[in-house]
Amino acid sequence: MNIAEVKQELSSDEKVLESAFKLETFYKKYRVAIWSVVALLALFFIGKSIMSGIEEGRLSEANNAFLTLQQNPEDSAALNTLKEKNPALFELYSYAQAAKKEDKAVLNTLSQSSNTVISDASRYTLAVMENKTADSALYKEMVLLEEAYLAIENNEMAKAQETLGMIDPRSPVAALAQLMKHSTIKAK
């Protein structure tokens, strides 16, 4: 072994020691900050897992209440549990029951819901029950069919044909719209 190799080996050992001293100095200087970040990360993940567990339990209780209501719609304890644990599912269940029982008061209340799907469906169902038309994003083409039907009943064939013309030919209700158009032609 020559002197150059020994110097190089000592130089690399010095660099390792120098790095170790720098790391130790950095650790001593920022020890509190490093442990604070580690503690905060640990608390964050622990808190997140606890919150996830609580949410899972809440949804499980709501699902059990919903299953109970499907077996026994008159179970008030299950209804209250569903209302507390999952308000969106409670509104959906209330809508289904109100539409089934044709309960206009409940549908009217649900039409004011902050859930746009529930409020839109409730307004539409209520309008159909009252033989009126309602503006609906979910049932747009059904609303057009209803408007055309009411126009036909009022013997306004031109208005009915114009309304039916607004229905997209690719729509699932296009065939029904065509049948209604033909009935307006024969009724003239």
Distance CA 41, CA 57 (A): 24
Q: Which residues contact 66 (CB under 8 A, 6 or more apart)?
A: 78, 82, 86, 89, 93
Say how far apart CA 76 and CA 69 lie, in whole Å: 9
Q: Residue 126: name the closest of 147, 149, 108 by CA.
A: 108
pTM: 0.64
User: Domain residues of the chain, as ranges?
Assistant: 1-85
pLDDT tens sequence across 121-133: 898 898 888 878 7
Highest mean pLDDT among 23-27, 36-40, 86-90: 36-40
CA 84 from chain centre, in angstroms, equals: 18
pLDDT at 10: 63
Instruction: Count the Cβ atoms, other than its own, within 10 Å of residue 136.
Output: 19
Torsion-angle region of 182 (φ positive above 0: left; ψ -120 to 50: alpha; else: beta): alpha
Side chain identity, residue 181: K
pLDDT band (50, 70, 90) for residue 186: low
At 61-108, the pLDDT tens digits run 998 999 898 888 888 899 999 899 999 899 999 999 998 899 999 999
Least confident of 106-120, 122-136, 173-187: 173-187
